[in-house]
Amino acid sequence: MRIVHITRDFPPRMLGGLSTAVGGLVSELARQGCEILVLSFDNYRPNKGPSGKGGLLCEEAEPGVSVVRIDNSEQLPEAKAIALEYRPEIVHLHHEVLWDFSHEIASPFAAPIVYSVHVLQTEQNRLREIDGTMSSQAQHRALLWSTVIHAPSQIVSDILTRDDPSTADKIQVIRLGSEFPEFEESEHETGRDTAPLLLYAGRFADINGFAELLHALPELFEAHPSLRAIIAGGLPGNRRAQARWQKQWQEIAGDLHGRLDFVGWQSPDDLSKLYLRAHMLVVPSWFETFGQVALEGMLHGTPLIVSDAGALPELADSDCATVIPAQDSAAIVAAVHELLANPEATGAKGKVAMQRAQAEYRWHERAAEFVRMYRGLV
């Protein structure tokens, strides 16, 4: 089965949950016998001029997986020609702003288009109290015209159906997985820092609860003199906005700002080491369509503090995490206090989280569900 995946920032370019999710899915699909062409729009903007890097970068990422990387609009005709020559049986779209390009690839072969909802634009707009955006308009087209809508969680399916009941018949809920290797409980114990370490991984974004976390940290640093924090992530393609967040942190924290380290985006190996070092992983999002970072923390046995928003309760409940209300800095403070005061209970939850994640969220089983979905379409 020949499948074209259309996405952004495909590995080894790792810039958040989309990179991680699509990379893991594609690798496992190839292991299960699918032929994959990935069209990866890396740092792409429709009005972006030539980068000076020459033509398209084409590579074989692994057996059965070819990758074409596009970074400006002048490369689109060549990328389209490669995809058409491939003659896809399925087109799988992972980012709504690339809908028009996906349709151009699929239509000559009447290939079905699967659209994965990695970000729910209407819900983000509602939480941010803003009107429709170009992204939400693009998502509306993708939802309307795709053959199948892949929802990575039940809450995404419920919201889509609530907003447009006509989508109900073409939504399929398939949860995502992780490629991180399985860890023994002892590996987290031996890898953990001596002094307490708080970890946040992901984008600097209001919707991720990043501002609430920054406002919580000074009080925590004052109460726990040995506590340090690491932020792994950033804002891809927007250095100015990333710098504004870091400046905001310096203004919030004053003399305490040096106890938080901004380490940028990490490779999977380096991120894994951070999960093992950390005494806690904080995921304070306003909304998540799945919760890739939380899953990664669970697989490492890292004690979790997660919000009760979006799909996070489907992934991590009170048996395996400390659950807090979203958009609440005081709740983050209280949860960290509780975690540091009760390390044995917290560690027990981490073990439950690890066992659940290893049993239910490996890509081998998840990818098999995608293969069944594809086969039902061809």
pLDDT tens column, 72-94: 888 999 999 999 999 999 999 99
How many domains are there within the chain? 2
> Is residue 120 domain-shared with residue 218, that is, in the same domain?
no
Count of CB atoms situated within 10 Å of the CB of 260: 22
> Is residue 153 domain-shared with residue 65, that is, in the same domain?
yes
Global pTM value: 0.92
214-233 pLDDT, tens digit per residue, is 999 999 999 999 999 999 99
Three-state DSSP string of the chain = CEEEEEECCCCCCCCCHHHHHHHHHHHHHHHCCCEEEEEEECCCCCCCCCCCCCCCEEEEEECCEEEEEECCHHHHHHHHHHHHHHCCCEEEECCHHHHHHHHHHHHHHCCCEEEECCCCHHHHHHHHCCCCCHHHHHHHHHHHHCCEEEECCHHHHHHHHHHCHHHHHHEEECCCCECCCCCCHHHHHHHCCCCCEEEEEEECCHHHCHHHHHHHHHHHHHHCCCCEEEEEEECCCCHHHHHHHHHHHHHHHHHHHHHEEECCCCCHHHHHHHHHHCCEEEECCCCCCCCHHHHHHHHCCCCEEEECCCCHHHHCCCCCCEEECCCCHHHHHHHHHHHHHCHHHHHHHHHHHHHHHHHHCEHHHHHHHHHHHHHCCC
343-370 pLDDT, tens digit per residue, is 888 888 999 999 999 999 999 999 999 9
155-171 pLDDT, tens digit per residue, is 999 999 999 999 999 99
> Is residue 68 domain-shared with residue 166, that is, in the same domain?
yes
Q: Cβ(275)–Cβ(302) under 8 Å? A: yes
> Is residue 43 domain-shared with residue 150, that is, in the same domain?
yes
Model confidence at 12, pLDDT cuts 50, 70, 90, reads confident
> Is residue 222 domain-shared with residue 340, that is, in the same domain?
yes
> Is residue 193 domain-shared with residue 251, that is, in the same domain?
yes
User: Hey, what are 274's tokens?
Assistant: 């951070």
The CA distance from 241 to 264, in Å, is: 14
> Is residue 113 domain-shared with residue 217, that is, in the same domain?
no
Q: Cβ(29)–Cβ(370) under 8 Å? A: yes
> Is residue 173 domain-shared with residue 238, that is, in the same domain?
no
> Is residue 139 domain-shared with residue 212, that is, in the same domain?
no
35-44 pLDDT, tens digit per residue, is 999 999 987 7
Q: Which amino acid is at 155?
A: I
> Is residue 356 domain-shared with residue 366, that is, in the same domain?
no
> Is residue 201 domain-shared with residue 155, that is, in the same domain?
no
255-296 pLDDT, tens digit per residue, is 898 999 999 999 889 999 999 999 999 999 999 999 999 999
Domain that holds residue 146: 2-177+362-375
CATH number for the domain spanning 275: value is 3.40.50.2000
> Is residue 152 domain-shared with residue 260, that is, in the same domain?
no
